[in-house]
């Protein structure tokens, strides 16, 4: 990876820094409150971990896929599938948070 592409990728990911900080803080808070609210903390932690892992996986896929795909048509379909999968992952992450907030709580 050339110097220009490294820096351009770094600048591109800098825009995601607020989300990364929220996911890390949410995971840390979930771990800190584990003893008081284990189920809620677990759901919150899973949500944060899921979205963080997807972010890293998506970044890796977007870096590797252009070299692997042969045609622009292939790229369109793969990127469309990645977008749909990303929406599904985000929906699951937010669903876990809603479950933590509004699900049946332990006494």
Quote the number of domains for the chain.
1
Residue 60, in any domain of the structure: yes
Q: Tens digit of pLDDT for each residue in 50-65? A: 999 999 999 888 888 8
- Kindly compute the dihedral angle of the four CA atoms of residues 62, 79, 81, 65, in this order, to the nearest 10 degrees: -40
Residue 42, in any domain of the structure: yes
Instruction: Identify the residue with better confidence: 70 or 33.
Output: 33
The phi and psi torsions of 60 (rounded to 5 degrees) equal -65, -45
Residue 82, in any domain of the structure: yes
Confidence (pLDDT) at 34: 96
Confidence (pLDDT) at 4: 57
pTM attached to this predicted model: 0.83
The SS3 call for residue 67 is helix
């Amino acid at each position: 990876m050339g110097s220009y592409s490294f820096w351009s990728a770094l600048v591109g990911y800098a825009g995601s820094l607020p989300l990364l900080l929220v996911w890390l803080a949410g995971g840390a808070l979930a771990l800190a409150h584990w003893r008081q609210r284990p189920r809620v903390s677990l759901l919150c932690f899973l949500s944060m971990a899921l979205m963080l892992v997807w972010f890293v996986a998506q970044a890796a896929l977007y870096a590797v896929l252009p070299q692997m795909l042969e045609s622009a048509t292939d790229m369109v379909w793969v990127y469309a599938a990645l977008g749909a999968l990303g929406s599904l992952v985000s929906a699951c992450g937010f669903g876990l948070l809603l479950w933590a907030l509004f699900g049946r709580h332990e006494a």
